[in-house]
Structure 1
Amino acid sequence: MKYFPLMMLSVPLLVACGGANTPPHTPLPGNQTSAKMQTLETGAQVMQSRPPVEAISAYLDGFHFYNGDKNGQMEAHHYVTVLNDDVMQAIIYDSNTKDARLMGVEYIISERLFKTLPPEEKKLWHSHQYEVKSGSLIAPGLPAVAEKALMSKIVNTYGKTWHTWHTDRNKTLPLGIPALMMGFTGEGQLDPALLKDRDRRFKTDTQAIKSQRQDIIARPVAAGADAWQQGDVVQLKLVEGAAEHGHNDTTHFGTSEQTQRKIASGKQ
């Protein structure tokens, strides 16, 4: 799988066609950036190198939901770095503007690597087949031919996603504990209002994209992924205090007591 030529195409298009149309969801407490801080920022941009940031080569826009809470849905803006043919990593924001809130991270691996994971680890990962084939995952700014080729590489990969700033729940700061996120796997799961709003901002037609991707080959989802569909849900929980990531912050979703103990102790 060769990603680099496709990813390189996206670099000049991140600003030209694929960004700055989705503002952050929540206000930010604190004073406005001072002139002194702005000067320091400008100087740092000119004088310091940023190899990890400069390695980001693609922008993907899709949707996540809280593992165990399919009603807790949000749009996720992924800025992706290719590490090799089998591993990618993405920084996830709640918008695509300069002041976007950093929501979390996603690690993306090939089907080959996913199949080598132990059973308990596989429960943390979700498939990308439906996201690609449904047209709900897009690469804004890429020409249609290049986007389709990129999606042909992503369709059989698997992702592990943690969100640390829950701006969809009006969290004006990164409060609470991280939440494990999942991707959609079938029709009728994604809130159509979210999809409609995304299509409006990006001037895209998800149904047309779906039709164009019908010939992308998607292999059956590997065993162990999307464990939530079998009722095996993993979510962090506080050792003391109320549970964190149920809808409206009222319900906790977990797995077996044994798995919860592993997560709480850091042995998962």
Structure 2
Amino acid sequence: MKQFLQLSACITLLIFSACGGKNTSSNVQSPGDDKTSKDKLLNTGADILQDKTPLKKFTAYLDGFHFYNGNINAQMEAHHYVQQLNEDMYQAIIFDGNGADAKIMGVEYIVTEKLFKTLPQEEKALWHSHHHEVKSGTLIAPGIPEVAEHELMEKLVSTYGKTIHTWHTDQESSLPIGSPMIMMGFTKEGQLHPELLQARDKRFNISTARIKEKRNDIPMPAVDPSANAWEKGVLRQFVITSEVDSAQHKHQGHPQR
């Protein structure tokens, strides 16, 4: 009850103290002409008149870091806008910034340990744990009071994520070209490039070291050995091919109803 009351108080405070956005520009400038006056008018009308219920449900903001499965040195900051679907599942839209020019990089699905245990063994190889991201302080929820963030991290520490990036703006790709990529999360100290972390901390005016210290009381979960398969040399990525067996394509790409 005490934790619930603290969290409720923090939610009330959010109305007056929420911040933590609009300090990270997109990595790329997309090619194309400026919006016409007609386009601007249409966009304004759509914004006023159309219902956007699904988007309104993405209520939480998380900032962290990813790397390409199979290439731990290809790292980037990832801004997650998250919807909690139920007690055991979340979904997130991932952007390369938190301002008006942010580009959608991909998506992440997050499940609790309970749901992760139900996944097939091969499927688990596509997922990463969040234990280190939480305990190290590299995963943050900018703008909310510390007590509320701590409550959130207590739950996220034992979750697992499946992440796919579709626009590789970290490679200065001005268009969403190339194959979608499976992403992973960091699992040990020394893996994340320090300059990425330092730049993030400066923009948000935070100290990851201080956050890490404050999370010492969050219990370290037992991580399922089937997650973070990249650590064991088991890599999974999309492959572009010009020859696809039609029967296999029908089975995998178009499931029967």
TM-score, normalized by the shorter chain, greater than 0.5: yes
| Equivalent residue for 2:25, pick from 20, 23, 26 | 23
Residue number in structure 2 paired with 1:255: none
Offset, 1:218? 2.3
Q: Distance in 2 between matches of 1:62 and 1:10?
A: 24
| Equivalent residue for 1:237, pick from 226, 239, 244 | 239
Q: How many residues align?
A: 244
TM-score normalized by structure 2?
0.89
Q: Distance in 2 between matches of 1:174 and 1:41?
A: 22
| Equivalent residue for 1:220, pick from 211, 222, 227 | 222
Offset, 1:44? 0.8
Q: Distance in 2 between matches of 1:130 and 1:124?
A: 17
Residue number in structure 1 paired with 2:62: 60
2:207 corresponds to 1:205: yes
Describe the shift of the 1:223–1:13 C-alpha distance in structure 2 as closer, same or farther (beyond 3 A).
Answer: farther
Checking the alignment, whether the CA contact within 8 Å between 1:13 and 1:142 is kept in structure 2 is no
Residue number in structure 1 paired with 2:141: 139
Residue number in structure 2 paired with 1:168: 170
Q: Distance in 1 between matches of 2:231 and 2:85?
A: 30
Q: What is the root-mean-square deviation in Å for CA atoms of aligned residues?
A: 2.3
Describe the shift of the 1:51–1:13 C-alpha distance in structure 2 as closer, same or farther (beyond 3 A).
Answer: farther
Offset, 1:266? 4.8
Residue number in structure 2 paired with 1:156: 158
Structure 1 segments, 4+ long, off by >4 Å, are: 4-14
| Equivalent residue for 1:36, pick from 38, 49, 55 | 38
Checking the alignment, whether the CA contact within 8 Å between 1:10 and 1:57 is kept in structure 2 is no
Offset, 1:206? 0.1
Give a deviation string over 1:18-54, Cα, whole Å, max 9, x none. 1100000011100011111111111111111101100
Extract unaligned runs of 5+ from structure 2.
none
TM-score normalized by structure 1?
0.86
Describe the shift of the 1:9–1:239 C-alpha distance in structure 2 as closer, same or farther (beyond 3 A).
Answer: farther
Checking the alignment, whether the CA contact within 8 Å between 2:14 and 2:144 is kept in structure 1 is no
Q: Distance in 1 between matches of 2:236 and 2:10?
A: 32
Q: Distance in 1 between matches of 2:106 and 2:173?
A: 14
Residue number in structure 2 paired with 1:73: 75
Describe the shift of the 1:175–1:13 C-alpha distance in structure 2 as closer, same or farther (beyond 3 A).
Answer: farther
Residue number in structure 1 paired with 2:98: 96
Letter of the 1:196 counterpart: Q
| Equivalent residue for 1:106, pick from 105, 108, 131 | 108
Identity of aligned residues (%): 53
Offset, 1:64? 0.2
Checking the alignment, whether the CA contact within 8 Å between 1:80 and 1:91 is kept in structure 2 is yes
